[in-house]
Amino acid sequence: MSEKNGPHPSYFSQIDVSHGSPTPMVPSGMAMYAEMTGLLRALLAAQDRQNELIEEMVNQLGAAQRQRAVELGQWKQANPGLARSCRMAAEALSRIQTEYLETLTEEIGDNFETLRDGEFMLNEFVDRFGPRIAHLNGLLQVLSQLSATPDPSNSPNRP
């Protein structure tokens, strides 16, 4: 076998740490203050622009929300009976949801150890209670938005 005695690639690089070029001169105090003032003014201008954009965004979102509220108010005025029915349904469904939450919390209290230690049991619990509570919340939200504001003269807990 013949062995080549050529140059071997270097696996390490060398860094020259000797004093190289002289360090640049530090600007005078006045020049440094002028530069800092310029940077602060640029920062302030950018912040002002950012504030304008945020203000625009808030106005856009507020306009959409106001439009939605107006449309909802018009719907309630056009459908007063249905709005009252939605209110009664929302109140009834809210009571049902409260009872369901009581059942759910009792189940957790009774089976805490099993749920904590067993992934299968936890998945069964979530499959059993999760979709129903999610759907109840969605229905309540829709009914509450469509419902008429309760009439204070018809309140059941009126003194």
What does the pLDDT profile of the chain (159 residues) look like in tens digits? Answer: 455 565 666 666 666 666 655 555 555 778 888 899 999 999 999 999 999 999 999 999 999 999 999 999 999 999 999 999 999 999 999 999 999 999 999 999 999 998 888 888 889 999 999 999 999 999 999 999 998 775 545 444 443
What is the gyration radius of the CA atoms in the chain, in angstroms? 35
Place of tokens 């067993």: 118
Q: What's the pLDDT at 20? A: 59
Q: What's the pLDDT at 29? A: 78
Q: What's the pLDDT at 28? A: 73
Q: Cβ atoms within 10 A of the Cβ of 150, count?
A: 13
Q: What's the pLDDT at 155? A: 46
Q: What's the pLDDT at 118? A: 85
Q: What's the pLDDT at 93? A: 94
pTM: 0.54
DSSP string, 20-46: -SPPPPPPPHHHHHHHHHHHHHHHHHH
